[in-house]
Structure 1
Amino acid sequence: MRSANSEPAARVLIVDDDRNQADLLARMLALEGFETLAVYAPSEALTAMRDGPFSVVISDFNMPEMNGIELFRRIEAAQLGAVFIVITAFGTLETAVEAMKEGVQDFVTKPVDVSELTIKIRKALRLHDLEAENRDLKGAVEALRAKVRLIGDSEQMRLILQQVHQVSQSPATVLIRGESGTGKELIARAIHLESPRHAGPYVAVNCAAIPESLIEAELFGHVKGAFTGAVGDRTGRFATADGGTLLLDEIGDLPLPLQPKLLRVLQEREVEPVGASEPVPVDVRLIAATHRDLGQMVADGEFREDLFYRLSVIPLEVPALRDRSDDVLPLAHHFLRLFCEENVRRISGFTREAEERLRTYSWPGNVRELENCVERAVVLCPGDVIDEPDLMLQATRRSEDRSSNAILDVLFDTALTLDHLERDIIVAALRRCGGNLSRTARTLGLTRRALQYRVEKIRREEESGDTGGGVVE
């Protein structure tokens, strides 16, 4: 007998024009734990299959209406998706071979041995489930690869897809680097789905979104009483991803004190929950992603060098959208079709001016910004074609180029050197930020350590009299 918590019994349909044989077989298989129904003609079997799903069909071969192979063909043509086992008379091996060539999963001979038939049913069901899982997986992989292709179909992105396929077969750690909005998380998920770990969990963690005080417990878990508020044991993300893949997104934001602990996990393949006395083994394939330059962070002392090399066994660089401008218009037209369907709009396309703006804009937010731009235009566009003002883009690459050229003109037309220009920019930024080094570093796109180094250099120059003096206070 099956327990209440076990899986539902497989439904088995028995088809035989010999009523006594069909009923007897139905009762015997019911005793083996299957849910059974006996019918006495192929037409009744087809009706029963349409009325309710059956996992298995067991059919006699010789029947007046049609033989078992013809019944199998009709069930296959109707895509009713059941395991099919045919019953043949003793000594008719040719019939069994013919049935197997047609695609029938298995056969038994008369008189039927119920124990043998039960084993064959369960074996065929396991194989059928595995084939269905593989079909689902292939569908998921293709769907995800299609999404990754939507990030772009340029030569650069085709190369990325090729690399995804190659690295997915390896257990090595992958470091995906690219600006925000380039599709790093999609690529990480594609690696997981194409890997031998595809049946395991895929867990994504954004290191930048978790407070520094909580991230250790979030990643490694904790035991009851480990700290105030730890009212029970908690499984960390590494343990949750056991047997699968863990993505650590924005790894560059991982606090420096926690980095040695992550390094130990990668080396020892075990985690130590907060407050625990014993480590817990984990089997996880790690993928890290970041928009930051980890090599520069290592040079600035903000990221451990040994961890950097451990993470970047296989580096993948996702190019920014501005570096693959051939992708912009195809992506824009794809998003146009998508959002027209979602918003029930009939918009035929973009004007020439709109396409020119799309091509020349620098897309600092990459594919995500382009997607948002097109969605906004579809919603707000008053007509049936999107014009340049409908895009609501404030700057173009050309205008940015003109700004850069204006700075170059200042350098060439005056005696101002690059060192002096850097010094003046830093001093002006410090004044605007009220002398706050952290805010100034963010404004200038520098690390705090890099800014400190430059400020100290300016101070030394002032003290030696190489500058105008008294500017940095």
Structure 2
Amino acid sequence: MTGPVPSPLLLIEDTPSLQMVYRSVLQTAGHTVQAASNAAEGMRLFQETGAVTVLLDLMLPDRDGLAVMREMLALRPETRVIVITANASINRAVEAMRAGAHDFLVKPFDEVRFLGAVANASGATGTLPKPAQKRAVTAEPDVVAEVFIGSSAAMRRVQTTIRSVAGSMATVFITGESGTGKELCAVAVHAGSPRAGGPFIALNCGAIPQDLLESEVFGHMKGSFTGAISDKQGAAAAADGGTLFLDEICEMAPALQTKLLRFLQTSTVQPVGAVRPRKVNVRIVCATNRDPAEAVRRGEFREDLYYRLFVVPVHMPALRDRGEDVVEIAEIALERFAREEGRQFDGFDPEVLDLFRRLSWPGNVRQVLNVIRNIVVLHPGGRVTLAMLPDSLQRAEPVTGAAPKPDATGGLDSLIGRSMAEIERLVIEETIARNGGSVPKAARVLELSPSTIYRKLEGWGLKPQL
């Protein structure tokens, strides 16, 4: 005897390319999807299919998305609506949340965040969280090698650490610049653990307005505040039996840090408006692109919470510190994107790979993937030449060896045209030099922690004075 067939997800997105991408990701994760390109078609499918999870773009050609959501909730209050909006319209997303939206996504968002939001909504409606199931099925024993492309010594150290810690319950604290793959690292920890069969719930603490963050983490009860028209399961409860990934943890408001510390100490969650707490079994993985110790020193992050979370640190190295990995990443990305777009490419000219090796890649792996995607989309195929690279990349100044010193008489003019990474290095090196080579003294001048400067010097291949 079979159980009831889950209702499909309803996707309402008017941009054909985005609708195709979202639909493909959802179907790959095991969901049945009905898609509409406008409000009228969306409302028709909503009534015909009985969908209880809806992905709704707020900018539709024939009607305001917020009005569509209100009509859906009036017809079926149990509906979980995930609204999608552009970064410039973040206030609209907040308005939607207050009007009863279950979650929101700000473009551009990655696949893990996308599927995490859907899994959370699906779990809240009582259906099986298929994205987490799919991840568990596809997790191979050596998933770490699959997640991280690159054979540099720096990446081998990261892979070794993840393999060692994945099987434990220890909290993992991931640091690294934006675009280095911190969320992929979290996915690898989850997929390599005994919890791989459970949910992986990702929450970006920096992308959610602070007045909504507590509800996102711990949930809320119907009527607990204006706009709470139904119960909402928080990310902590949705991750029960699996992993909760808190990205940009240092952006969390102090009041919520206190509640997170209590959650870590008691393993219980209490939704806003709830009378009693609930016990959950969750493994915490967190990440930040800041120096967490510096955030503690500045009073922006609780020291006791820092020591509670900073159990197994994993630092994701910048791409400029990974040697030949950039070539390996570019070649694999070219093959994959070409296959997705149905095109045939024959690799890179040597001049292109030489340029890739010499660039600083301030956007790290994410920047490389965007560049390769741009090439594949805008060209029919063949061998990738310098002329096929985006204009911004061709104008980028290669960085090799020590950072060149600016003209002492040039003032600000000598810095114009340089990348922020170069300027940062110039300022740090000059400050150290003016303080007799003392890193601690330079740290006080720059209001940084000495450990931050030591790590940067190590990344630049320089040996500081002790």
Say whether the fold is shared (TM-score over 0.5).
yes
| Distance across 2 between alignment mates of 1:297 and 1:330 | 35
Percent identity between the two aligned chains: 45
Aligned to 2:185: 187
SS of residue paired to 1:385: strand
Q: Which amino acid aligns with 1:173?
A: T
| Distance across 1 between alignment mates of 2:382 and 2:331 | 14
Q: Structure 1 residues 307 and 385, CA, compared in 2 at 3 Å: closer, same or farther? A: same
| Distance across 2 between alignment mates of 1:237 and 1:174 | 18
Q: Structure 1 residues 334 and 218, CA, compared in 2 at 3 Å: closer, same or farther? A: same
TM-score normalised over the length of structure 2: 0.57
Q: Which amino acid aligns with 1:182?
A: T
Aligned to 1:405: 405
Aligned to 1:234: 232
SS of residue paired to 2:313: strand
Q: Which amino acid aligns with 2:344?
A: R
Give unmatched runs, 5+ long, in structure 1.
8-133, 412-420, 423-445, 452-473
Aligned to 1:261: 259
Q: Any idea what the Cα deviations from partners look like across 1:104-133, whole Å, max 9, x if unmatched?
A: xxxxxxxxxxxxxxxxxxxxxxxxxxxxxx
Q: Give runs of aligned pairs for residues 41-80 of structure 1, distance below 5 A.
A: none
Select between 341-350 and 307-316 the one with higher mean Cα deviation.
341-350
| Distance across 2 between alignment mates of 1:193 and 1:331 | 21
Select between 385-394 and 238-247 the one with higher mean Cα deviation.
385-394
Q: Give runs of aligned pairs for residues 366-385 of structure 1, distance below 5 A.
A: 366-381=364-379, 384-385=382-383
Quick check: 1:154 aligned with 2:163?
no
Q: How far off is 1:5 after superposition?
A: 4.0
Aligned to 2:294: 296
Q: Which amino acid aligns with 1:257?
A: A
Q: Give runs of aligned pairs for residues 436-447 of structure 1, distance below 5 A.
A: none
Q: Structure 1 residues 199 and 325, CA, compared in 2 at 3 Å: closer, same or farther? A: same
Quick check: 1:173 aligned with 2:171?
yes
| Distance across 2 between alignment mates of 1:136 and 1:315 | 24
| Distance across 2 between alignment mates of 1:285 and 1:276 | 23
Asked if 1 retains the 8 angstrom alpha-carbon contact of 2:346 and 2:383, the reply is yes
Q: How far off is 1:137 after superposition?
A: 5.0
Aligned to 2:271: 273
Aligned to 1:391: 389
Asked if 2 retains the 8 angstrom alpha-carbon contact of 1:176 and 1:316, the reply is yes
| Distance across 1 between alignment mates of 2:379 and 2:238 | 46
Alpha-carbon RMSD: 3.2
| Distance across 1 between alignment mates of 2:198 and 2:311 | 22
Q: How far off is 1:389 after superposition?
A: 3.2
Q: Any idea what the Cα deviations from partners look like across 1:421-462, whole Å, max 9, x if unmatched?
A: 98xxxxxxxxxxxxxxxxxxxxxxx9xx969xxxxxxxxxxx
Aligned to 2:333: 335
Structure possessing the higher radius of gyration over alpha carbons: 1
Q: How far off is 1:337 after superposition?
A: 1.5
Quick check: 1:306 aligned with 2:304?
yes
Aligned to 2:322: 324
Give unmatched runs, 5+ long, in structure 2.
6-132, 412-425, 428-442, 449-466
Aligned to 1:39: none
TM-score normalised over the length of structure 1: 0.56
Q: How far off is 1:323 after superposition?
A: 0.6
| Distance across 1 between alignment mates of 2:291 and 2:155 | 21
Aligned to 1:201: 199
Q: Any idea what the Cα deviations from partners look like across 1:377-432, whole Å, max 9, x if unmatched?
A: 23334772222232220313338966x42256869xxxxxxxxx98xxxxxxxxxx
Which of 350, 353, 359 in structure 2 is aligned with 1:352? Answer: 350
Asked if 2 retains the 8 angstrom alpha-carbon contact of 1:148 and 1:183, the reply is no
Q: How far off is 1:338 after superposition?
A: 1.6
Aligned to 1:60: none
Q: How far off is 1:327 after superposition?
A: 0.4
| Distance across 1 between alignment mates of 2:229 and 2:381 | 59
Q: Which amino acid aligns with 2:340?
A: E
Asked if 1 retains the 8 angstrom alpha-carbon contact of 2:145 and 2:159, the reply is no
SS of residue paired to 1:349: strand
Q: How far off is 1:220 after superposition?
A: 0.6
| Distance across 2 between alignment mates of 1:319 and 1:190 | 16
Q: Structure 1 residues 409 and 361, CA, compared in 2 at 3 Å: closer, same or farther? A: farther
Asked if 1 retains the 8 angstrom alpha-carbon contact of 2:136 and 2:198, the reply is no
Q: How far off is 1:145 after superposition?
A: 3.0
| Distance across 2 between alignment mates of 1:175 and 1:232 | 34
SS of residue paired to 1:258: helix
Asked if 1 retains the 8 angstrom alpha-carbon contact of 2:221 and 2:232, the reply is yes
Q: Any idea what the Cα deviations from partners look like across 1:271-313, whole Å, max 9, x if unmatched?
A: 2211222222111100001111111111111111111111111
SS of residue paired to 1:266: helix
Q: How far off is 1:341 after superposition?
A: 2.1
| Distance across 2 between alignment mates of 1:299 and 1:172 | 24
| Distance across 2 between alignment mates of 1:309 and 1:375 | 40
Which of 216, 219, 229 in structure 1 is aligned with 2:217? Answer: 219
Q: Structure 1 residues 305 and 5, CA, compared in 2 at 3 Å: closer, same or farther? A: same
Q: How far off is 1:326 after superposition?
A: 1.6
Q: Structure 1 residues 373 and 401, CA, compared in 2 at 3 Å: closer, same or farther? A: farther
Select between 253-262 and 141-150 the one with higher mean Cα deviation.
141-150
Asked if 1 retains the 8 angstrom alpha-carbon contact of 2:139 and 2:196, the reply is no
Q: Structure 1 residues 379 and 222, CA, compared in 2 at 3 Å: closer, same or farther? A: closer
Asked if 1 retains the 8 angstrom alpha-carbon contact of 2:139 and 2:192, the reply is no
Asked if 1 retains the 8 angstrom alpha-carbon contact of 2:358 and 2:400, the reply is no
Asked if 2 retains the 8 angstrom alpha-carbon contact of 1:256 and 1:304, the reply is yes
Asked if 1 retains the 8 angstrom alpha-carbon contact of 2:343 and 2:381, the reply is no
| Distance across 1 between alignment mates of 2:408 and 2:160 | 40
Asked if 1 retains the 8 angstrom alpha-carbon contact of 2:343 and 2:380, the reply is no
Q: Any idea what the Cα deviations from partners look like across 1:17-49, whole Å, max 9, x if unmatched?
A: xxxxxxxxxxxxxxxxxxxxxxxxxxxxxxxxx
Quick check: 1:252 aligned with 2:250?
yes
| Distance across 2 between alignment mates of 1:228 and 1:176 | 36
